[in-house]
Structure 1
Amino acid sequence: MIIPVTCAIILLERKVLATQRSESMNLPGFWEFPGGKVESGESPEDCLHREIKEELNIEIDLLDRWNSFEHSYQPGKIIQLIPFLVSFKGGELILSEHTAYRWLGLSELFEVNWAQADIPIVQELSRKWGSIQKNY
């Protein structure tokens, strides 16, 4: 079973947002790019806007959709992680599900303990950092 899950690489002032999973979530304590499961009949883009509003209380603007990555935490269940590069549009960041957040610069990207599914996205972000900062 493949489960489509969106995630937002949220840019603000040459930094990117990372959120820490709470004790009530799977993989507590690990860091991730915020987002969530795509519901039936929902586009990944609509899902991302909904999830970011629910989880963080903020608005975003979509900049770019990156290639998906697949990861399996348990046999027979594959997460298809769909990353979007987005900019912070507005609102007050209030966590509803996560325990903490950090704004990370390039040199800080690998300071947090990322969830396994997010690591390829962190690596991609690291490779593209220069062009992202120049273009967005």
Structure 2
Amino acid sequence: MTELIARAVVLRDGAVLLVQERAVGYWFFPGGHVEQGETPEDAVRRELREELDVGATITARWGELENRWDGHHEINHVFAVRIDAADPVSQEPHLAAGWHRLEDLDDTDVRPRRLADLVLAHARRR
């Protein structure tokens, strides 16, 4: 089964906002599942409100990124997003949120890795 995911790329001052599920240890881009009847744009805004209690403005659509691992298959709808909080805090006890310097992203366990590489390529072009 293919899962539809909406992901936010939030860049600020040379850093990117990432979320970590404490039990697994790796970091990922904020967002989550697109619910039945919901657009990916609405899903990314809803997920950011639920996970981080922030308002979000989509500034660009980066496209779709396919990710497969251990029998899972997901299509990530990726958006550049601006949020209305300087230092968002996770609203869910199993999640942590934090800013990561782009220069350290190569050494950070971020999944899907292809999305992290896309963010780095974008930052290097600027």
Match of residue 64 from structure 1: 60
- CA shift, 1:43, in A, is 0.4
* TM-score, normalised via structure 2 length: 0.87
| Amino acid aligned to 2:59 | L
Contact 2:19–2:29 (CA under 8 A) maintained in structure 1: yes
Once residues 52 and 40 of structure 2 are traced to their aligned partners in structure 1, the CA distance between those partners, rounded to angstroms, is: 17
What is the CA RMSD across the aligned residues, in angstroms? Answer: 1.9
- Match of 1:20, SS state, is strand
The alignment status of 1:104 with 2:100, answered yes or no, reads: yes
Q: Which runs of 5+ in 2 are unaligned?
A: none
Q: Is the 8 A contact 1:12 1:88 kept in 2?
A: no
Is the aligned partner of 1:32 residue 2:28?
yes
Q: Secondary structure at the match of 2:68?
A: strand
For structure 1, which segment, 66-75 or 80-89, has the greater mean C-alpha deviation from structure 2 after superposition? 66-75
| Aligned residues with identical type, % of pairs | 28
Residue 125 of structure 1 aligns with an amino acid whose one-letter code is: V
Unaligned runs of 5+ in 1: none
Correspondence for 2:114 among 109, 117, 120: 120
| Structure 1 residue ranges, 4+ long, deviating more than 3 angstroms after superposition | none
Q: Match for residue 73 of structure 1?
A: 69
